[in-house]
Structure 1
Amino acid sequence: MHRVLTEKDRDLVLSYVAAEPEMSLFIAGDIETMGMEGQLCVWGLAKAASADKDLGAVILRYGDNFVVYSRDGDFDDAEAAVLIDRSMGGDAPGDVNGRADLVARLAPFFPANRLEPCTMASLREVNRDAVGPVPQGVELGLLKAEEVDAWLGLQGTIDEFSLHLDDASIYAERRARKLDELGAGLPCVVARDDRGQIVSTASVGAASSQGAMVIAVATDKAWRGRGLATAVVAELCDVCLRGGLEFMSLFFENPAAARIYRRLGFCDVGPYAMLRPSAR
């Protein structure tokens, strides 16, 4: 059994997901930023193994992407999959994110999406000893609205982020989304070379009153191996923590990224996963 959750359920949902603030950051951040209605759709699933029908899981949809969270995994995974499928009108969903054990249960229902495991990590203080000086002529700063096209230009050179950026409608959507994020106060740190060109970047993709998620870490291929990824992530974390947040989170897949983040002070929280469209 499930129902659509509305503004009157806000405290219930935020209290429920607060048990694991890093794993549920996308849910808490989106609700705090956009509310429970309008751009978001939020569902609550009742516990499957209990007669009291307390909240057993929360699913949030934003665009074609979904986040699932459950404290104890007591929900009907088939019901959750049908809910996602029907909300998409039978089309395959975009990303389905969440704690790895929950996402793995949904994977068999979405064969067009591939399961990508990763690790969620969290930081509460930056280890500045791990951050070396930036190369001569490079300066760190916050992304300006007039630089969004240049920022997208860098993203377009990175395989992980470049998908369909040559499509005008997708480019326009990503451009508008980035401007909205900047307007909402979600910071993006960039490194500029001595010509003012953006050569490295790290962004906040979601933020709650407690923490923020680091995403879209990218460095121009000609500038890699010079400590810029470490520098922009450290600066982004410092900006957010100085602003009053308690923690920063991110998820990573490859060992090289893990070494960078752990040196900075990130500690593993647990397995996370994404069901991603196979075309991505």
Structure 2
Amino acid sequence: MIRMLTKKDRDLVLTFASDRPAENLFILGDIEAFGMEGDTITLWGDFNEQGELLSILLRYLGNFIPYARDPDLLDGHTWAKVMLESGQLKHFSGLQNLVEKIIPHIDVPILKKQLCHYAKRDTRLPIDQTLIRKDVKMLFPEEAEKVVALRNSIFTNYTETPSMLQKNMDKGSSRTYYIERNNELVSSVSTAAETAGAAMIVGVCTKKEYEHQGFATSCLIKTIGALTAEHKQPCLFYDNPSAGRIYEKLGFVPIEKWMMVNY
């Protein structure tokens, strides 16, 4: 039986999803930020005859994310019907083995489909502090334009503005560590979508002329250390195999591929 979830179901949903904080980073983060119901967010749950929760579906604006502890208990046909009847389906994302159970039942043309590797790091793993350079600094929110300028010089189609980044830093869902030369950022690592139990690592970058000096690794390990101290599990997306090998050396292990679909 599928029904819409309300704030009365908050503890039930958090218990259901919090055992895998990295896998459910976006679901948990949206619940923390927006609650359980409203114009921005809607949650549904699928229950068996005994009243046990089998799977959930989150809508954040036009994006939908499903989750089930056991993929075999996820009803792809029914969840597809919920998404279509909402009239708000624009984006669909989640763990590949869950998303692929629902996609065949959505009779809407797909504009784009993308797969990324998804990895996490156990918070109990030791951290080699000797790899952290002494000149790694933490960015203040009012300095957001510095890291945005660095990313714009490295990443194509980067869209985040200084005000957007500062807003996220002010509310505690993002932080940045960096190294600078001549009063200019040359390498940085940030977090995004931080929740009580996990955080997404993003924006790992170094200016070309400063590559292969351990700058990004130092910023990354500093970030991992800060998150671990707060019992937040670091996780990240990547699609570059060489980047994946670097992350594996730092203790990240694959979760599963993350699938993103645009309609």
Same fold at TM > 0.5: yes
For 1:273, give the aligned amino acid. Answer: W
Structure 1: segments with no counterpart, 5+ residues: 166-170
CA distance in 2, matches of 1:100, 1:196: 43
- Whole-angstrom CA distance in 1 between matches of 2:246 and 2:164: 28
1:249 equivalent in alignment to 2:235 = yes
1:202 is aligned to 2:200 = no
Match of 1:207, SS state, is coil
Partner of 1:213: 200
Displacement after TM superposition at 1:235 (Å): 0.8
For 2:53, the equivalent position in structure 1 comes to 55
TM-score (norm 1): 0.78
Partners of 1:158 and 1:106 lie apart in 2 by: 36
Instruction: Specify the alignment match of 1:273 in structure 2.
Output: 258
Structure 1 residues 227 and 85: alpha-carbon distance in aligned structure 2, compared to 1, 3 A threshold: farther
- In the TM superposition, what whole-angstrom CA distance separates every residue of 1:11-39 from its partner, at most 9, and x where no partner exists? 01001112322211222233234322357
Contact 1:99 1:272 in 2 (8 A): yes
Is residue 42–residue 58 contact of structure 1 (8 Å, CA) maintained in 2? no
Deviates more, 1:33-42 or 1:98-107: 33-42
User: What TM-score comes out, normalization by structure 2 length?
Assistant: 0.83
- Are positions 1:264 and 2:260 aligned together? no
- The code of the aligned residue for 1:255 comes to P
Q: In the alignment, residue 156 of structure 1 is paired with which amino acid? A: N
User: What letter is aligned with 1:70?
Assistant: A
Query: Are 1:229 and 2:228 matched, yes or no?
Result: no
Equivalent residue, structure 2, for 1:18: 18
Contact kept, 8 Å, 2:62 with 2:88, in 1: the verdict is no
- Per-residue Cα deviation, 1:83-109 (whole angstroms, up to 9, x for no partner): 33444546x32xx33222012223443
Letter in 1 for 2:138: L
1:101-112 residue pairs with structure 2 within 5 A?
Answer: 101-108=97-104, 109=106, 111-112=110-111
Cα pair 2:36 2:43 within 8 Å, conserved: no
Deviation of 1:164 (Å):
6.5
* More moved, 32-41 vs 141-150: 32-41
1:32 alignment partner, SS class: helix
Alpha-carbon separation, structure 2, partners of 1:19 and 1:267: 17
Secondary structure at the residue paired with 1:193?
strand
The residue aligned with 1:35 is: 35
Using a 3 Å threshold, how does the CA distance of structure 1 residues 101 and 39 change in structure 2: closer, same or farther? same
Answering whether residue 157 of structure 2 is matched by residue 163 of structure 1, we say yes
Check conservation: 2:5, 2:45, Cα contact below 8 A: no
The amino acid of 2:164's aligned partner reads R
Tell me, what secondary structure is at the counterpart of 1:157?
A: helix
SS at match of 2:237: strand
Q: Counterpart amino acid of 2:68?
A: S
Q: Is the 8 A contact 1:140 1:189 kept in 2?
A: no
Partner residue in 2 for 1:151: 147
The answer on whether the counterparts of 1:107 and 1:115 sit within 8 Å (CA) in structure 2 is no
Contact 1:142 1:189 in 2 (8 A): yes
Question: 2:65 maps to which residue?
Answer: 67
Match of 2:225 in 1: 238
**Partner amino acid for 2:77?**
A
Q: Percent identity?
A: 27
Cα pair 1:104 1:115 within 8 Å, conserved: no
> Quick check: 1:118 aligned with 2:117?
yes
Shift of 1:191: 2.0
Q: Deviations over 1:137-195 (max 9, x none)?
A: xx322222232223222222344xx4263xxxxx5xx4443222111123422323222
- Alignment RMSD, CA only? 2.8
Partner of 1:168: none
Corresponding position: 1:100 with 2:96? yes
Counterparts in 2 of 1:123 and 1:261: CA distance versus 1, 3 Å: farther
Describe the shift of the 1:190–1:75 C-alpha distance in structure 2 as closer, same or farther (beyond 3 A). same
**SS in structure 2 opposite 1:36?**
coil
Q: Distance in 1 between matches of 2:75 and 2:210?
A: 48
Residue 164 to residue 181, structure 1, CA distance change in 2 (3 Å): closer
Aligned residues: 258
